């Protein structure tokens, strides 16, 4: 097949970029020709580039939309595999001429803000179905920005995305939880596929018991949704139970950065803030950490970072939200924490794991076993079957 990957950016720091940078070479290794259509400028910085130099690509902001789409027509894809795309007119133009499979990496078209959570009186997941009624809650419960104009822009975008559901050949999600969200949005069961993500292939020679200088690792954007403050508070609580300061690595960036630094100092936590890290440093941090914390207060669509850690024998401690329980089983490869217990529950779990080397070794072994079950080849095979089904009529015409 000739596959066109569509994504907002050519580079980035999120899970989507990590996912695509692994998927694309696997598709190529199986004999498929891959091109990339990206909206943002190719010069935009980011620690992760989704394709290597030499892969066919077209940039909308670099070349202009008409010129970029003219080049896409010359590339002549059999199928388009669209990912994060804020400019929905890109998906609309692709749909006019080619079959499009859409992978939803977030709550797009099922929530006004995409957060799927209320932040007032406290941050809790939202169980509502997207619709005009959501506007009654958006401002009072701070579902997003405290701006009526932002609310109406986001509602309009979400409605436009939802209107495209029926025009995609298939919607792909990563967890059973996310599949349920799109079924609730009236997507027919046959048109939404849950394909679990995968652990990175890092080899089988990673020892689960070895010195780990980092007690707790957080990887992600430093925003309230991701719960980084809960990591600081949990580390402080665990440190008091263990009688020492914990070494915490907060890798990422965002609006809470300065606040979290001050909070770590007052909480007597040895916290480092390296900013966004590239693939090599990311692997090193995962390898050197005793525990990965996933304190998301919103419903995580999957939580890929947990499987990335598991590949290095690093167990996760996570709030039980969204699709995380698809790969994290309590007391097997980490700890699932009731969201209501917040940082206290997370701190108690961290202290228990760090206090007991035998427990840590058992959970680390379980993490490696979990990583082995979520294999890259299984995921890629499932994706290829979906793309082939969508492209079938086009391929038959070409042949």
Question: What span, in angstroms and rounded, lies between the C-alpha atoms of 24 and 30?
Answer: 10
Would you tell me which CATH number, out of the four given (3.30.420.40, 3.40.50.720, 3.40.50.10190, 3.40.50.2000), belongs to the domain 214-373?
Answer: 3.40.50.2000
Q: State residue 399's pLDDT score.
A: 28
pTM above 0.75, yes or no: yes
| pLDDT tens figures, 128-166 | 999 999 999 999 999 999 999 999 999 999 999 999 999
Question: What span, in angstroms and rounded, lies between the C-alpha atoms of 238 and 217?
Answer: 14
In the block, residue with structure tokens 């329980």: 325
Band (210; pLDDT cuts 50, 70, 90): low
Question: What span, in angstroms and rounded, lies between the C-alpha atoms of 142 and 122?
Answer: 10
Band (279; pLDDT cuts 50, 70, 90): confident
List where CATH 3.40.50.2000 sits in the chain: 2-114+146-198+376-398, 214-373
Distances (CA, A) of 292 to 62, 244, 271, 302, 334: 38, 19, 14, 15, 9
DSSP letter, residue 373 = H
Would you tell me which CATH number, out of the four given (3.30.70.120, 3.40.50.2000, 3.90.950.20, 3.40.50.11270), belongs to the domain 2-114+146-198+376-398?
Answer: 3.40.50.2000
| pLDDT tens figures, 335-375 | 999 999 999 999 999 999 999 999 999 999 999 999 999 99
Summary count for the chain: helices (H), strands (E): 14, 17
Q: Which of 370, 321, 281, 377 is closest to 125 using CA atoms?
A: 321
């Amino acid at each position: 097949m000739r596959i066109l990957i569509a994504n907002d950016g050519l580079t980035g720091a999120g899970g989507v970029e990590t996912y695509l940078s692994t998927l694309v070479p696997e598709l190529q290794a199986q004999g498929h020709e891959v091109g990339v259509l990206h909206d943002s400028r190719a010069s935009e910085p980011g620690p992760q580039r989704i394709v290597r130099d030499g892969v066919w690509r077209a940039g909308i902001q670099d070349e202009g939309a008409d010129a970029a789409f003219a080049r896409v027509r010359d590339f002549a894809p059999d199928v388009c595999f669209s990912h994060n795309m804020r400019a929905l007119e890109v998906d609309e133009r692709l749909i006019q001429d080619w079959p499009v499979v859409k992978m939803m990496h977030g709550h797009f078209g099922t929530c006004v803000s995409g957060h799927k959570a209320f932040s007032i009186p406290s941050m809790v997941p939202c169980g509502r179905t997207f619709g005009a009624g959501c506007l009654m809650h958006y401002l009072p419960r701070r579902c997003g920005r405290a701006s009526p104009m932002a609310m109406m822009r986001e509602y309009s975008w979400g409605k436009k995305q939802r209107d495209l559901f029926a025009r995609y050949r298939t919607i792909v999600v990563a967890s059973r939880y996310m599949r349920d969200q799109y079924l609730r949005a009236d997507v027919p069961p046959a048109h939404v596929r849950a394909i679990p993500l995968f652990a990175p292939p890092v080899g089988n020679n990673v020892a689960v018991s070895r010195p780990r200088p980092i007690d707790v690792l957080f990887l992600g954007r430093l925003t309230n949704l991701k719960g980084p403050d809960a990591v600081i508070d949990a580390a402080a609580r665990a440190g008091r139970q263990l009688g020492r300061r914990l070494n915490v690595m907060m890798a990422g960036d965002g609006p809470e950065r300065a606040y979290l630094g001050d909070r770590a100092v007052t909480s007597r936590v040895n916290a480092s803030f390296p900013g966004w890290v590239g693939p090599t440093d990311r692997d090193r941090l995962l390898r050197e950490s005793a525990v990965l914390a996933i304190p998301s207060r919103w419903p995580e669509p999957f939580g890929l970072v947990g499987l990335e850690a598991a590949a290095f024998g690093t167990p996760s401690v996570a709030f039980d939200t969204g699709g995380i329980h698809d790969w994290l089983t309590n007391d097997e490869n980490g700890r699932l924490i009731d969201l209501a217990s917040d940082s206290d529950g997370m701190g108690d779990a961290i202290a228990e794991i760090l206090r007991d080397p035998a427990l840590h070794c058992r959970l680390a072994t379980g993490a490696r076993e979990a990583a082995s079950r979520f294999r890259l080849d299984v995921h890629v095979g499932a994706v290829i079957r979906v793309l082939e089904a969508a492209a079938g009529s086009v391929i038959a015409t070409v042949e």
